[in-house]
Amino acid sequence: MAEVLLCLFFLTTFLGFVAGQQTNCSVPVGASLTATPGVTPWLSSSSDFAFGFQQLQGNDNFLLSIWYDKIPDKTIIWYPETSATVSRGSKVELIDQRGIVLTDPQGREVWSTSGSFSDLACGFMNDTGNFEILGNNSGKIWESFSYPADTLLPTQVMEIRGQINSKKNKTNFSRGRFQLRLLPNGNLVLNIRDIFSNFPLNPYYVSGTFDADNSTNSGYQLIFDATGYMYILRRNGQKYDLTPRDALPSGDYYHRATLDPDGLFTQYYHPKNPTGNASWAVIWSEPKEVCFNGRIGSGACGLNNVCSLDGNRPKCECPRGFSLLDSNDPNGDCNRDFSPRCDEGYAGDLFDFIELNNTNWPGTDYAHIIPTNEQSCKNSCTEDCFCAVAVFANDQCWKKALPLTNGKKTSSENVKTFLKYQKDERPLQRPPPFLKEKDQRSLVLVGSVLLGTCVFVIVVLIGVICLGFFLIYKKKPTYPYASSKAAESNLPRFTYQELVEATNGFKDELGRGAFGIVYKGVIGTNIVAVKKLDRVVEDGEKEFKTEVNVIARTHHKNLVQLLGYCDDGEQRLLIYEYMNNGTLAAFLFKDMKPSWKERSYIGVGVAKGLAYLHEECSTQIIHCDIKPQNILLDDYYNAKISDFGLAKLLLMNQSRTNTGIRGTKGYVAPEWFRNTPVTVKVDVFSYGVLLLEIISCQKSVVFDSDKEYVEVLTDWAWDCYHEGRVDALVENDMEGLDDLERVTTFVKIGLWCVQENPSLRPTMRKVVQMLEDFEVTDPPCPCPLFCTSI
């Protein structure tokens, strides 16, 4: 009897098991997939859809997703919205009691299905594109259709409070700005969300399927039926068509409706058995007005961006004076290239306007003046520090502040849009990113065609083009706009390969310094100096960015301008403007003494540059290595300090001496050798030595036979000054001897600067003042010990 009972028990268990086992089960409990290239996904029975890891473009990022497996581009239709991409070696597993669990290569859980999985039997990739988890007794206990990402498929239904979100852009599957929602009042809406709070902003599309009384008329389901027909179902059974009647193509097609990264909700179709290079075609999309104005929110394009039509899509373009915050996201926000200033010192006369063609940000004004004229409109914007843009049309004036929203191209002739800028930061028409060979070739091509017709025209044409380039490139260095940006500054970033090309494989060496070798290069039409840094702090990536940003923010006539940088793995390079007249060292210590006038002008320039670094730029910069090799001369013999801002990259703690001495023998201040803090006064000391060199055209140190250096210049200068023989310092220099008052002033300043006691040295600001006013008291002996021993 017991055997019979036992047998019966096994039989029922077995039968129950067979009955519970869903006929279509394709993914058993315990099945798993590992994110590696080419791993076989879990397929639906017809192989139309696959569930697994898709490798994203050219790197080791994988996305857990569902896609169309039979069409070449493997279009993704679902992904867990909250998990970003995962790296190679991540794993997805169907676990009893848990459902689907995604873990990273370290085994940490990244995402899992939510719900109750006590009855879990198996997983199943349905031919509809729906991944289902089936229970032993209860049918579906989880399905991907209930957690849509950016796409709906035929047979999928969205209920009240359902929503889908666009992805950020083509390649980034993080949640984007746009949402499609079915509201409790029955309306289907498209809206932008505030990405920081996730709060939905004003809709830019509304279906109108609502009923104020929430009665029979209101919509309650968005239905995408099996034939590919999409509509809103009202409570009274009526349908509100989204797919126009008769719009569906006949034949065997895949259908999907996706909220695209540009904000358009679009129904697409694709032949199931593609011939040739078939692709997705559009059946319909919403909104119809693609450059919509949502009032609140950025508009179709990001903040400060401007929308125009590109077929049935919005095309976004930053206006002149702005550039993309994220170059991978052309529909995203634009950042102002120049700094808006609204501080106490605001002075309207420092500002001017450029006119932006056919551009407006309608409905985002904070002031509206009627009636007025164009000049008064501009004036009121000039005076008003918050005003960023003034629009004048039909005797009316609108003023707008940043950020500008709902930007779009207008065709209206009589609307004039003026962008305000500070005069010394005039936004340039950006040159094309590198003047590519291709472009040059097409110029030549155009040229040859014209040559066939009229030689005269081409001569004139070339003249005009040359003049154009001359004016554009000569007046102000405009720099090719590279693909990415330095954090917080718009400094172009270059790849190492671009710089290898720009310098012809680092062929032409310009010089060697404490930080690396400098090479000559050409970027676009500009000659540049490329400094290859060789001794940057380890793990200093962040510091590097920070320092580059500090340097990038310095703008002064007497500083070499940083034009770009490269931060490619190990390779750190800085790109500077190229200085035609070489270093001050070469200039001063050549056989023919340069003129005193030029020398004194250079001396003042260096002082001004240093004063700026110490006191006027936003982050104080101590140079630490002022010497004639680090001063460059431009076409007009303006002194330009180079290599500033780099000291920190080698030496993180500037205020201590025990971290090693920076600087060059003969120019370093004595406190480097003592346990006293290092301050801006070390630069003042070096400047003093430099100034004495500029006066005398003598090197500050000479090497004796044992290759030991002896400092002579400061001692000699003190002796000359002390003994009233300043003229000896400018021996045989007629121009200097004629200008002895200035020479004496400069010598006194030099001696003040090289005082052994840092607190006796003047600040650089004071130095500039003394150089210009000639009012200097008599300096004490720079080195008291030396003097007493005399």
Contact flag: residue 155 with ligand NAG (CB under 6 A): yes
C-alpha distances out from residue 541 to 249, 566, 569, Å: 55, 11, 9
Q: Is residue 97 a contact partner of residue 63, using CB atoms and an 8 Å limit? A: no
Pairing, β 230-234 against β 239-241 = antiparallel
Q: Which is nearer to ligand NAG, 130 or 642 (CB)?
A: 130
**CA 32 to CA 114: how far, in whole Å?**
18
The overall longest dimension of the chain from CA atoms, in Å, is 132
Q: Which of 62, 68, 86, 132 forms a contact with ligand NAG (CB under 6 A)? A: 132
Retrieve residue 486's tokens: 């330095």
CA geometry: angle at 449 spanning 448 and 453, to 5°? 110
CB of 329 to ligand NAG, least distance (A): 8
Residue 512 and residue 518 in contact, taking contact as beta carbons nearer than 8 Å: yes
DSSP calls for 698-733: --SEEE-TTS-EEE-HHHHHHHHHHTT-GGGGGTT-
CA-wise closest residue to 193 among 223, 168, 158, 169: 168
- Cβ 533 to ligand NAG shortest distance, Å: 27
What's the CA gap between 595 and 601, in Å, rounded? 10
User: Which part of the chain contacts ligand NAG (CB under 6 A), choosing from 66-74, 122-130, 408-416, 459-467?
Assistant: 122-130
Alpha-carbon separation of residue 731 from 421, 602, 697 (angstroms): 51, 20, 10
Is 380 an interacting residue with respect to ligand NAG (CB under 6 A)? no
* Smallest gap from residue 123 Cβ to ligand NAG (A): 11
Residues 221 and 202 sit within 8 Å (Cβ to Cβ):
no
Give min distance, CB of 567 to ligand NAG, in A: 17
Cβ closer to ligand NAG: 172 or 757?
172
Q: 123 or 645, CB closer to ligand NAG?
A: 123
Ranges within 174-233 binding ligand NAG (CB under 6 A): 174
Which residue lies nearer to ligand NAG by CB, 129 or 736? 129
Q: Contact letters (x/-) for ligand NAG, 723-742, by CB under 6 A?
A: --------------------
The pair phi, psi for residue 471, each rounded to 5°, is -65, -40
Closest distance to ligand NAG from the beta carbon of 258 (Å): 18
The reply on whether position 146 binds ligand NAG by CB under 6 A is: no
Q: Which is nearer to ligand NAG, 168 or 420 (CB)?
A: 168
How far apart CA 281 and CA 566 sit, in angstroms, is: 41
Minimum Å distance from CB 782 to ligand NAG? 56
The only residue of 128, 136, 327, 495 in contact with ligand NAG, by rule CB under 6 A: 128
HSE at residue 311, side-chain half, CA atoms within 13 A, is 4
| Options 121-129, 317-325, 745-753, 772-780: segment touching ligand NAG (CB under 6 A) | 121-129
Contact stretch for ligand NAG (CB under 6 A) within 29-37, 125-133, 185-193, 469-477:
125-133
- Pick 59 or 373: Cβ nearer ligand NAG: 59
226/471 with CB nearer ligand NAG: 226
CB of 180 to ligand NAG, least distance (A): 20
Query: Of 42, 79, 117, 124, which lies in the binding site for ligand NAG, with binding defined by CB under 6 A?
Result: 124
How far apart are alpha carbons 350 and 331 in whole angstroms? 32
| Tokens 């300090």, located at residue | 641
Mutual angle of helices 713-722 and 681-696, in 10-degree steps: 70
Candidate list 625, 643, 683, 733, residue with the active-site label = 625
Is 625 considered catalytic here?
A: yes
Q: In what order do the strands lie in the sheet with 32-34?
A: 32-34, 91-95, 99-103, 109-112
Asked if 21 is part of the footprint of ligand NAG (rule: CB under 6 A), the reply reads no
Tokens representing 368? Answer: 């509206």
Our finding on whether 24 is near ligand NAG (CB under 6 A) is yes
CA angle 10, 11, 13 (to 5 degrees): 65
The secondary structure element, H or E, covering residue 688 is helix 681-696
For the CB of residue 259, give the shortest distance to ligand NAG in the complex, in Å. 17
Ranges within 78-97 binding ligand NAG (CB under 6 A): 85
Q: How far is the CB of 692 from ligand NAG (least distance, A)?
A: 54
Of the candidate residues 112, 126, 179, 305, the single one contacting ligand NAG (CB under 6 A)? 126
Q: Which is nearer to ligand NAG, 132 or 337 (CB)?
A: 132
Question: Between residues 123 and 782, which has the closer beta carbon with respect to ligand NAG?
Answer: 123
Residues 641-700 within binding reach of ligand NAG (CB under 6 A): none
- Please tell me the total number of residues recorded for the chain in this structure: 790
Per-position DSSP letters for 71-131, written without gaps between them: STT--EEE--TT---EETT-EEEEETBTEEEEE-TTS-EEEE--S-BTTEEEEEE-TTS-E
Separation between Cα atoms, residue 126 and residue 226, nearest integer Å: 13
Burial (CB count within 10 angstroms: exposed 0-12, middle 13-18, buried 19+), residue 413: exposed
**Distance between CA atoms of 76 and 150, rounded to whole angstroms?**
10
Q: What is 544-579 written as a DSSP string?
A: HHHHHHHHHT---TTBPPEEEEEEETTEEEEEEE--
CA dihedral 148, 154, 160, 166 (to 10 degrees): 40
Give residues 407-426 in contact with ligand NAG (rule: CB under 6 A). none
CB nearer to ligand NAG: pick between 24 and 619: 24
Part of the chain binding ligand NAG (CB under 6 A), chosen from 123-131, 425-433, 644-652, 691-699: 123-131
Q: How far is the CB of 164 from ligand NAG (least distance, A)?
A: 18
Question: H or E segment at 354?
Answer: strand 351-356
Torsion angle of C-alpha atoms 78, 83, 84, 85, degrees rounded to 10: -70
- Closest contact distance (angstroms) between CB of 287 and ligand NAG is 24
Cβ proximity to ligand NAG: between 155 and 490 the closer is 155
Peptide bond between residue 244 and the one before it cis (omega within 30 degrees of 0)? no
Nearest to ligand NAG of 105, 477 (CB atom): 105
Nearest to ligand NAG of 81, 739 (CB atom): 81
Shortest reach from residue 128's CB to ligand NAG, in Å: 5
Q: What is the 3-state secondary structure (H, E, C) of 736-750?
A: HHHCHHHHHHHHHHH
Q: Could you give the angle at the alpha carbon of 720 between the alpha carbons of 715 and 725, nearest 5°?
A: 175
Q: How far is the CB of 84 from ligand NAG (least distance, A)?
A: 6
Task: Count the site residues for ligand NAG by CB under 6 A.
Answer: 12
Write each residue from 160 to 179 as x if it is in contact with ligand NAG (CB under 6 A), else as -, in one continuous string.
Answer: --------x---x-x-----
- Catalytic residue numbers? 625
* Residues contributing to the site for ligand NAG (CB under 6 A): 22, 24, 85, 124, 126, 128, 132, 140, 155, 168, 172, 174
